[in-house]
């Protein structure tokens, strides 16, 4: 299986996870329905995960697998100043 060009995210929040899953799905040219079918899940699971909403761990693994992704855990350390600033900017943008 061919590996796609490095697609790495530092995910600390559920909405960041949702964005990463959506970006990957779109990069692969897949619909939410096709990912759901590949994962053996209902389409609602894809909507929920991409929105950063609650879903089971097994659903997350199934969807990640359907997108040819693996999850890797590593020590987080403190967020960088750039990560904090970006997050505050996103919150300000959402409020506008």
- 60-94 per-position pLDDT tens digit: 999 999 999 999 888 877 777 887 888 788 777 76
Rg (CA), the chain: 14
Long-range pairs of 73-76 with CB within 8 A, sequence gap ≥ 24: 76/12
Contact between 45 and 36 (Cβ < 8 Å): yes
Of 60, 56, 83, nearest in space to 73 by CA? 60
Please identify which residue in the block is written with the tokens 């900017």.
Answer: 89
pLDDT, mean over the chain? 86
Which pLDDT value is given to residue 96?
61
| Structural domains of the chain sorted by starting position, each given as residue range(s) with its CATH number in brackets | 14-95 (1.10.260.40)
Q: What are phi and psi of 12, to 5 degrees?
A: -120, -15
């Amino acid at each position: 299986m061919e590996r796609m060009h490095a697609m790495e995210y530092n995910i600390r929040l559920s909405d960041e996870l949702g964005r990463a899953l959506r970006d990957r799905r779109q990069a692969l040219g897949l619909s939410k329905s096709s990912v759901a079918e590949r994962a053996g899940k209902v389409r609602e699971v894809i909507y929920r995960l991409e929105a950063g909403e609650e879903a089971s761990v097994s659903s997350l693994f199934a969807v990640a697998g359907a997108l040819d992704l693996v999850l890797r855990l590593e020590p987080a350390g403190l967020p960088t100043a750039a990560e904090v600033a970006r997050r505050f900017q996103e919150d300000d943008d959402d409020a506008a």
